[in-house]
Structure 1
Amino acid sequence: MSDNMSIASLVGQASLLVQIVMAILLIASVISWALILAKRNHIRNSTQASDRFEDRFWSGGKLSELHEQIGRDKQPQGLAALFQHGYEAFQRARDTPDADVEDVVNATHRGLRVSHARESERLDSGLAMLATIGSVSPYIGLFGTVWGIMNAFIAIGQVKQATVAMVAPGIAEALIATAMGLFAAIPAVIAYNLFTSRIGQLDARYRTFADEFAGILERGLRHGGER
């Protein structure tokens, strides 16, 4: 490939609007990969933390002791966060004067729902941006392509005899915009679909634990004891 037809040369010689489109797509790609790496680590950490917590929860120890252990963590997440906030809501309601069993159970469910919503929101953070990049980037690239090809045809119309050498740079720079749009969009779409599936599995796991935990606390109340 000659120097005049290298990618760097074509980008440098592109029209201002096409260069702006390329810059937008480059920024979108960088943001996309940053979100992908951050979200991958977040989901992995949440899954591992939930695995460790479930091992401790179902080991048969006292809930009060487990709550003290969780309280020493700097920032519990996943199932540990659900347990912490649900158990604290249970304790507050249980210690309220004249509170009956139904009041305590309802308060516990509310605490678990709030914590579940908060954890779900944390899991979903960044997905909207990935979806936006994945859906919009090809159209931004296509806009740059259309503009570049239009300029190439305008240049052809201004000369009496057009050659491939005259047309090729304009077409090439236009196609680079398309390629950059796809480069930004494809990883974002793939990551969005994978993360959505994994987050759905985690969210179902949170919901199941919240129901089981609330049931354990309710049975303890009605039978006058605590695990």
Structure 2
Amino acid sequence: MFLNADIVVKIVMVGLAFASVVTWTVWLAKGLELVLAKRRARAATLKLRRAKSLQEATREVESGWTRNGAVADLVQEAATEARESEGLSADGVKERLAIELSRIEARAGRRMAHGTGLLATIGATAPFVGLFGTVWGIMNAFIGISKSHTTNLAVVAPGIAEALLATAIGLVAAIPAVIIYNLFARSIAGYRILLSDASSAVLRHVSRDLDRQLRVENSSTASIS
């Protein structure tokens, strides 16, 4: 049917087939990326919760396979801010750190969502592209009927079948794209929640360390007095 189809219908079919290949390629690549990122984030967050201080958390997260993830970026930013803000107001440190951690979370979420918008585009447009191919093919079939001066089904059926094939390919391209896009949307939302949990753990460590430091300073002042 494809070989006998009109050139426009052929272009539509090839384009839809290419869109389907793109969908499954994105699914494979982004799926692996998401699985690895979530596993790394879970492992790093577990290390954060087990640590007793920010220094210990930094050492633990930056060791092993968790050192390259977004959680490691959160910990490194916290360590940098704590070092550069030594001697400054604790409230100011926590406020600046919360802002920067939010930026890191948002950046990691955007990076993880990169490429998934293509799936939404394919899911939204592929059925209409297939429908265009069908309309074009049926139009050519009717033109063929008028030229042959016959309504014999054997003459009409091949052209209509070719036209309907375009719609079928459009649905084959669109349905998986929509399903995969929704799966990725939920998975990325879960990844963002993991990063939010890690960010909260980092802030707790920073707050706890600052309180310890303040208590030591107060004790030293009391001893001198």
Post-superposition Cα deviations, 1:83-107, rounded to whole Å, max 9, x if no partner, equal 233333333333xxx6221221122
User: In 1, are the aligned partners of 2:34 and 2:112 still within 8 Å (CA)?
Assistant: yes
Code of the aligned partner of 2:40 = A
1:17 aligns with 2:8: yes
| Cα shift at 1:144 | 0.4
State how 1:136-175 maps to structure 2 within 5 Å. 136-175=125-164
| Cα shift at 1:208 | 2.9
Instruction: Specify the alignment match of 1:88 in structure 2.
Output: 80
Equivalenced residues, count: 214
Aligned mates of 2:78, 2:144 — CA distance in 1: 69
Instruction: Specify the alignment match of 1:4 in structure 2.
Output: none
Aligned mates of 2:60, 2:173 — CA distance in 1: 44
1:106 aligns with 2:98: no
Code of the aligned partner of 2:212 = H
Find 1:58's aligned residue among 49, 54, 60. 49
Aligned mates of 2:121, 2:78 — CA distance in 1: 35
Bigger Cα displacement from structure 2, 53-62 vs 168-177: 53-62
Cα gap change, 1:85 to 1:215, in 2 (>3 Å): same
Q: What TM-score do you get using the length of structure 1 for normalisation?
A: 0.85
Post-superposition Cα deviations, 1:153-186, rounded to whole Å, max 9, x if no partner, equal 1111122222112111111111111111111111
| Cα shift at 1:48 | 0.8
Cα gap change, 1:58 to 1:211, in 2 (>3 Å): closer
Instruction: Specify the alignment match of 1:32 in structure 2.
Output: 23
Post-superposition Cα deviations, 1:177-220, rounded to whole Å, max 9, x if no partner, equal 11111111111101111111121122122223313321331232
Code of the aligned partner of 1:217 = V
User: In 2, are the aligned partners of 1:86 and 1:115 still within 8 Å (CA)?
Assistant: no
Aligned mates of 2:48, 2:69 — CA distance in 1: 14
- Name the % identity: 35
Instruction: Specify the alignment match of 2:35 in structure 1.
Output: 44
Stretches of structure 1 that go unaligned for 5 or more consecutive residues are 1-9
Alignment partner of 1:13: what SS? coil
User: In 1, are the aligned partners of 2:48 and 2:201 still within 8 Å (CA)?
Assistant: no
Cα gap change, 1:169 to 1:25, in 2 (>3 Å): same
Instruction: Specify the alignment match of 2:167 in structure 1.
Output: 178
Code of the aligned partner of 1:173 = E
| Cα shift at 1:71 | 4.3
1:124 aligns with 2:113: yes
User: In 1, are the aligned partners of 2:138 and 2:163 still within 8 Å (CA)?
Assistant: yes
Code of the aligned partner of 1:16 = I
Alignment partner of 2:150: what SS? coil
Stretches of structure 2 that go unaligned for 5 or more consecutive residues are 215-225
Alignment partner of 1:12: what SS? coil
Aligned mates of 1:215, 1:25 — CA distance in 2: 51
Aligned mates of 1:219, 1:70 — CA distance in 2: 18
